[in-house]
Amino acid sequence: MDIKKMDIKKFSEGYISELVSLLHAFPVDPFEKIVNALLVAHEKGKNILIMGNGGSGSTASHFACDINKGCSMDLDKKFKVYCLNDNIPTMLALANDVSYDAVFVEQMKSFYSPGDVVVGISGSGDSENVLRAIRYANENEGVTIGLSGFSGGKLSSLAHIAFVAEINDMQKVEDEHMIVVHMLMQALYNALHPSPAAI
């Protein structure tokens, strides 16, 4: 029993140590560019379309919730954030009748307008359904943002603004992406409210 406790302690300390090292190398420049892109979208009344698969899909849902409610609730002018992986029946229909690679880009053809911001989240950076959506936005006057990990994958070279959590561990990549979402929420809130407050 004591050995197991020691193993868990060692594991926990190692995990936290690696995560702290990752955060110490936080790429501030792309984060700042993302904040500015979202503020411009808000000012111009543009849509922000966001998507991901699996854990990244959960991050995308959380992002939409935090910005639509947390940043917008008491503003006269709201953010317009839509999470494309939240409509499960639509995704299943597209996956079944077209292909899983098309589940995001086909939805964008209904909701997207030139100048909108499109955020793709992919731990590997190589999720084809996310890449297709980013390509569509690039070809149609969009502003594209990619959150990926590891070495960035194709997403990091395709998106106009690339945020890469550079670590070869999917869970820690997703940890940093979730921290980015919470940082964005507070940064946007503070930018749009005269008296920044704890949220």
73-113 residue pLDDT tens: 889 999 999 999 999 999 999 999 999 999 999 999 999 99
What architecture does CATH give domain 26-192? 3-Layer(aba) Sandwich (3.40)
Does position 196 have pLDDT exceeding 90, yes or no? Answer: no
CA distance 92 to 114: 26
Q: Which amino acid is at 34?
A: I
The two three-digit tokens of residue 60, written as one number: 């995308």
Of 185, 186, 180, 137, the closest CA to residue 158 belongs to: 137
- For residue 195, the model assigns a pLDDT of 73
Average pLDDT of the chain to the nearest whole number:
95
Of 19, 35, 1, the closest CA to residue 145 belongs to: 35
Q: Per-domain residue ranges for the chain?
A: 26-192
> Global pTM?
0.94
